[in-house]
Amino acid sequence: MPYCTISTDDGRKTISNKDGNFSIKCNQKTTYITISYIGYKPQSITLDKIGSTILLEQNQISLDEIIVRPLDKDKLMKDLITKSAMIKLENAHIRTNFFYRQMTYTNKQCNEILETYIAANPYIHLDHISLITGRYAKLKDQDSIQYLTFNNFFQATTMTPISEGHISRKKIITPISINYTRFYNTKIISYKTEDSEIYEIIFTPKKKVKRAIVEGSVWINPQYLTILKYKGTIKSSLITPGQKHEKILFSNLSFEILYNDSETE
């Protein structure tokens, strides 16, 4: 299963790739790993019993566990924005390093690649990014379009579901914002298990919106107002080309971001 969270009993963590494969370093103190995924029961396995395939059991939700109640969407959005500002303030002193790779394919052939090491302040997204080192390579064919620029790189690495103020015309429209009703039709689905509850907030862009906008879902823990997962597609985003006077409508950029729900640990 893609993008599962894998953790060891001594505090190491990673996620599986798009094919469900993963690797994680273990030491002599490690005795078991735990695999978790939204909508499935966590599975803990000792190291000596790990096989090539690990099955997860889906959380079963029966009708008597579903609670129907009105939700104040505006209040929920404002509370999420407020909580985001608090997390940003609390983690302002934390700075760490990241590795980023971006590849461009045309007709199944890779024509450019960017690899960088960056330093940033992480909370809901990466902030105050500075480049440590990196490399960029492309095909020598001068007729090929250069899709990648550092503007596009910066846009991808700073992807966030929350806008703390009004969205300017130069920015991609993100789901959780003060004026979200101007851009989105929304629906909230509540998933309740034996010991927790998760909200999936589905954001569908209104037909009149022609700007670059994110369509997708944000999963949150309503008790602590923490974001668990952000998944969607950027629609109608005009990426910056390498050549002047080129216009490329990049309308199918999909992404998925998983967050560590530290409030429940």
pLDDT at 265 over 50: no
**Going by C-beta distance under 8 Å and a sequence separation of 6 or more, which residues neighbour residue 243?**
145, 146
Same domain, 20 and 112: no
Residues 13, 35: Cα–Cα separation, whole Å: 10
Domain of 11 in residue numbering reads as 5-49
Same domain, 166 and 225: yes
More confident residue, 149 or 39: 39
- Amino acid 53: pLDDT: 80
Q: What is the pLDDT of residues 90-138, one digit of tens each?
A: 877 888 888 877 777 777 777 778 888 888 887 777 777 888 888 877 7
pLDDT at 241 over 80: no
Same domain, 24 and 137: no
Same domain, 245 and 121: yes
Same domain, 194 and 87: yes
Same domain, 129 and 209: yes
Alpha helices, DSSP H, located in 57-97: 73-90
Same domain, 111 and 32: no
What's the domain count of the chain? 2
More confident residue, 225 or 69: 225
Percent of the chain with pLDDT over 90: 6
pLDDT at 142 over 50: no
**Going by C-beta distance under 8 Å and a sequence separation of 6 or more, which residues neighbour residue 99?**
115, 116, 117
